[in-house]
Structure 1
Amino acid sequence: MTSPQVHLVEEGMREGLQIESADISVDEKLRLLDALSRTGLKTIVVGSYVSPKWCPQMADTEELVARMRPADGVTYTALALNRRGRERMLAQSPPLSERAGAGRTLVHLCDVFAQRNTNRTQQQEIAAWEGVVADAVAHGTTEATIALNAAWGSNWTGDVAEETRLDLLEAQHQLWTDAGIPVTRVWLGDPMGWNLPHVVERHLRNIMERWPSITTFHLHLHDARGAALLSAYSALRVLTSEHTLVLDTSIGGMGGCPYCGHGRITRMIPTEDVVDLLEELGVKTGVDLPALIEAAHVAESVVGHPLWGHVSKAGPRPRGNDLYAMDMPFVETEEQAQHFRLGPTVYEGALSPWKSPITSPMRSQ
């Protein structure tokens, strides 16, 4: 498999915590942010500058950023949805960095969700494109991103046809082309978990064929129906070494939008699971997987309930000195399964029917 370059964007501090309890303290958020900063992740979204009335979980973003301890080599970003939000974000930049892709047009493919999520209709979003392009020209923007949200379907309006996706990307692409700004990126969001691997793969192939100048594909996939990691794998299969795949992921898989209809169950790709998969596929991430697993357990402590990652529960595939002890007793509970990181004390006293030590020519010890 000729894989694309892969860049992970950690969304647990923003997409994850925005659907968790508003009572989580800044001290606890900093504990999670510090754990994530030690993993080797290169981009971490720390929060969002939005109305505390509608998203009280993000009301302390300014305090969080003021107190954060940035790690070398990590880019910290935040989400801002309007002019006031951008002003607040810029006032804290640095330590924050502005997110790439200022030259970007976007449309939701569900008019109902657009109104629920942004208080704007789909037609109002489309009408705003010309102003966005004009502003980008005035600021000397040299590259552009075209974007779709609710790209694969909606809990209120159902499936989206491939022709609709391509037509709305074409309309955006033409505006940028007419302005003399090349389109090099596409952003595809799926807030309601409608992604399916074969549909994602077909859509990416069509984009590659129609617009070869697009070399960066940014996927924001939610996992409400369990297909997000499969869809990310499909993207890895179809893109080549000439492309960059940006994946938004979240520690423990936490994440969700209160406007989409299934809250915390919306979830995202667990960061630890995708790092494990990428490394097994030979795609180097630069991420310390054991440190990431520890961060997942910190995240569970911070939010106060179990999260949904798999590798943090079962551990990576053991090899070499990490192979399991052949004489270990029965392991039945989730707590006992943590022996891979906590040692054999977690299964002390468990049933052990072996009458003599187990040996095997397949193992030296």
Structure 2
Amino acid sequence: MKRYYLYFLALLISLHAVKAIFAQNNNSYRYVDKVVLDAGHGGYDSGARGNKSKEKNITLAIALEAGRIIEEKYPGVEVIYTRKKDRFVKLHDRAKIANENAADLFISIHCNSNPSTKPFGTETYVMGLHKSQENLEVAKAENAAILLEEGHVQQYDGFDPNLDEDYIMLNMFQSANIEQSLGFSQILQDRMKTTAGMYDRGVRQAGFVMLYLTTMPGVLLETGFLSNPGEEKYLMEKENQDMIAEAIADAVGDYKQLIERKFEALSISNNRSNKTVDRQTDKVYRIGFARLKSQKPYGHKMFNGMKDVWHYYENGQYCYTFGHAGSFDKAKALYQKAILEDKIKWKYLKSAEIVEFEEGKVISKTKAAGSGNIE
């Protein structure tokens, strides 16, 4: 009978994930503005143990440093932690933190272990069907934290992380974010290899409860093996922990740039197909009115009175525009109309510029209130 409850739970969580995705005003994964860093284990759950180390301490040190670097390098990105000190956090609460904050990316940081002392290197997991017994055993080890939670039988509807057959339930749920998760995991593996100097064991799939419960692209990073004496020593040294943290931060930056470039290209393509443009020149003119260090949702109050709000990224800033015209004269008319209608704050209009685009690239900028070309 328990199996039917498990299958029903899988369906409910799948529906919850879909609902959460659409709840983001169909703006899902246009940006990467919120990143959740999850330091694996904690408190009375030490995680994997080496001869001289505990997983929970290493993962926390890496997560805190990675967050610091992200905030320093990418000031527009908000970092959210599932824990910032040595305390136990239930797996479903970690996922809840990510979901309730509408995060754009979830990264769970762990250390690996194996009965043998020989395996070494880093690997990144995404939610999916385990293709080997080895992948399943890694998932079982990480999911075992469930058994430390009070009331886990009720909370997870009887799911037992030690039973192979219970993973059938998890495999019923193929994450709606699998493509983005796989994309980020490969970026992360590349950075772990080049920045942290770790041996690349590749991207893998397995049934991790935490990834199963989150509603955004997410990965579980196994930084290295505490069961390997040499790698344990490497992971215990602060200098190396900092390099791993930097690899994670740089991967976030790479992924953020990739996602936003894709969305920018898609926006240009959609605007070109949905709007009337000058077919002879295939150029588009917009009214540029703001340059910001961080992004704003298109429903933000600063866009009141504006139509066809759109942005592009240039020199570390998000450049916002409104309107859409097929010629410079039509764009000028849009600007003058905006002044007459008085629906847009003057502070945005007084320094506005007419931006000329061709094939999605900025060609020129002209002060809207005058006639001088500024770029």
User: TM-score, normalised to structure 2's length?
Assistant: 0.30
Bigger fraction of residues in strand? 2
The structure with more radius of gyration: 2
TM-score by structure 1 length? 0.30
